Copies of this chain bind each other. A is one copy, B any other.
Amino acid sequence: MANAVQSYHHGDLRSALIEAATARLSEHGVDSLSLRKLAEDAGVSRTAPYHHFKDKSALLSAIAAKGFSDWHTAAKRIFEQEDKTPQVRFREFVHEYIGYAADNPEMYELMFGRTIWQNQAATNDLKNVAFPCFQFQVTMTRYWQEKGLLPNNQDALRLAQVTWGTLHGIARLLIDGIYADSSHIKEMCDCAADLFMQKQA
């Protein structure tokens, strides 16, 4: 920092790139995110990033990994509120999931988009953060099944895939602009929650 002028090296380019990328991501979207611009943001030449990331996809994976770890802790916080009933927590989880996606559309797009997942492009670092996040969905589902909230005659993994799929699908319809009308998000969340918990209704 202090020796920025003197020192040939940047100091912590890797962090600087991720930081710049995160800023650009939420502002201009994942599509208009170029390595060259990020390098310029960090005050460094075009190819410098390649000494810290194998390629563009690796950089994106690193950002997505941060997103997954953030969401994982958020999900745990919601799930572990012992002062609330499972029903309330479930409904809250649904709202928070869609809310997270709606509030951070570009980050969500990056985390769950094909850019970093397709063609086995996903980094091991990314998988190590994302898979526990997916697994947590199964854990929660099993818990809600035990509490009689979700149907007990279904395999937990299968049911987790479907419930997660529902949230994911609604989130994507909103984010991708297919449903431009985002004024009824809350109603949609409640409808989904009601549908899953209809045995209690």
Contact = CB atoms under 8 A, between A and B. Distances in A.
Given A162-B188, A168-B172, 9 more contacts: A109-B114, A112-B178, A113-B176, A161-B170, A161-B188, A162-B191, A167-B169, A169-B170, A169-B171
A179 B164 CA distance: 12
B117 A177 contact: yes
A158 B170 contact: no
B195 A162 contact: yes
A138 interface: no
Nearest to A174: B165
- Residue of A151, A153, A168, A188 ringed by the most chain B CB atoms within 10 A: A168
A180 B113 CA distance: 14
Interface of A (DSSP majority class):
helix
Interface of A: 109, 112-114, 117-120, 151, 153-155, 158-159, 161-162, 164-173, 175-180, 184, 187-188, 191-192, 194-196, 198-199, 201
B109 A176 contact: no
Contact of A188 (B109, B158, B180, B184): B158
A173 B118 CA distance: 11
B168 A114 contact: no
Given A154-B195, A195-B151, A118 B162 contact: no
A27 to B, nearest CB: 15
Contacts of A175: 114
